[in-house]
Amino acid sequence: MSLTFTTAQTDEDLRQILSLQAQNLKTNLSEEAKQQQGFVTVQHTWEQLSLMHRLTPQIVAKDNGLVVGYALSMMPEMGELIPDLQPMFALLEQIPWQGTPLSRHRYYVMGQVCVGASHRGMGVFDGLYQQHREVYSPNFDVLVTEISKSNTRSQRAHERVGFRTIFEHEDHVDTWNVVAWGY
């Protein structure tokens, strides 16, 4: 195994992210797999992922050149560029973190994190977030994301890295924990 953490460099890296995402979509997994292994909720299009990558380089884990994990990031401006994200970003702007609304902090959003089944339990999840901290902490104070309350594996993994729940809400898709990790 030759595991490295870096930013996606090529269109092929982005295609591999989309492939890994499709394999782990909530709609493509059994109830047992969702409970035991976790899942991702949103399926990005090529256009959305390309735009996200242009605004914020995406962090990946590679094993012998193949993407085996990813941690997608989004700037708050994505809410203006992708209409489906507007409600989430509007909500995030108002949520307090350390006593003041997130809008007053230098924050960015974790769009999705996923580790391929063959590499789970090998430190990939933690490595992706450590790479995020290394790349983004000079320019940001806090990283924020939403986790489905039913995705207990993801919630535990985020807490292990250092995320803390700062808000809970429900929308037409699910009930969510909003979690934050300060740098």
Q: Go through the domains of the chain in sequence order and give each one's CATH number.
A: 3-182 (3.40.630.30)
Decide: 31 and 144 in contact? Cβ < 8 Å: no
pLDDT on residue 128: 98
- pLDDT of 52 strictly over 80: yes
Instruction: Please state, for a pLDDT cut of 90, what percent of the chain lies above it.
Output: 74
Go through 145-167 and write b for each residue having 16 or more CB atoms within 10 A of its CB, e for each that does not. Answer: bbbbebbebbbebbeebebeebb
pLDDT in tens, 106-158: 999 998 999 999 999 999 999 999 999 999 999 999 999 999 999 898 999 99
Q: pLDDT tens across 81-104, in order?
A: 777 778 888 999 999 999 999 999
Q: What angle do CA 90, 43, 27 make, to 5 degrees?
A: 115
| Phi and psi at residue 38, to the nearest 5° | 85, 180
For all residues of the chain together, what is the average pLDDT?
Answer: 93
The per-residue pLDDT for 175 is: 93
User: H or E stretch including 129?
Assistant: helix 124-136
pLDDT above 90 (res 37): no
**Per-residue pLDDT tens for 67-85?**
999 999 999 888 777 777 7
Q: How far apart are CA 105 and CA 107, in angstroms?
A: 6
pTM above 0.75, yes or no: yes
Using CA atoms, how far residue 132 sits from 64, 90, 95, in Å, is 21, 24, 22
